[in-house]
A = this chain, B = another copy of it.
Amino acid sequence: MWISRKTDYATRAVLALAIADGQRLNAQDLSRRVAVPDAFMKQILMQLRDAGVVRSERGPSGGYRLNHDPADITLERIVRIFQGQLAPIECATRHEPQPCSMEIGCSLRTVWAEVRDATIAILERTDFATLAAQSGGSWVPVGLTTKPYTV
């Protein structure tokens, strides 16, 4: 349970935008599709914009759209923006691992590194074009409406 709600919402927002296929969606619309308070959605969209994942347009009929081809946006990218390091423990990060108090001979480190690599491999090979395709272009936000949003 190490993916925060914020990361969860962010990945879902990006998925929503990928499904929208270049269409511009505003914060309120996205917050409804992702089922998250819209003030919080805005905060998340700011972070995604600062990271270059989405671009925004202001004024009435403004909103957000993806800044790249969904096929070029990996899940790994989004998760890193909100969670930072993907290693399960500090002594096993790829860059500047923290020396642990029993570094020498600590065989646990190797295992954590395996977990890290397996995780990164999966997240890196997952892109949002594929995810959008797998979602079939629609979903039902449970409890909000019975009518599926469609592209």
B140 in contact with A104 (CB, 8 Å): yes
B15 in contact with A135 (CB, 8 Å): no
**Copies of this chain, whole number:** 2
CB A112 to nearest CB in B, in angstroms, measures 7
Per-position binary interface string of chain A over residues 105-120, scored 1 when its CB falls under 8 Å from any chain B CB and 0 otherwise: 1111011101100110
The reply on A148 being an interface residue by CB < 8 A is yes
21 sample A-B contacts, Cβ–Cβ < 8 Å, listed by A number:
A1-B2, A1-B83, A1-B87, A1-B89, A2-B88, A3-B89, A12-B102, A12-B106, A12-B108, A34-B101, A34-B102, A75-B108, A100-B142, A102-B139, A102-B142, A104-B148, A105-B138, A105-B148, A106-B135, A107-B134, A111-B131
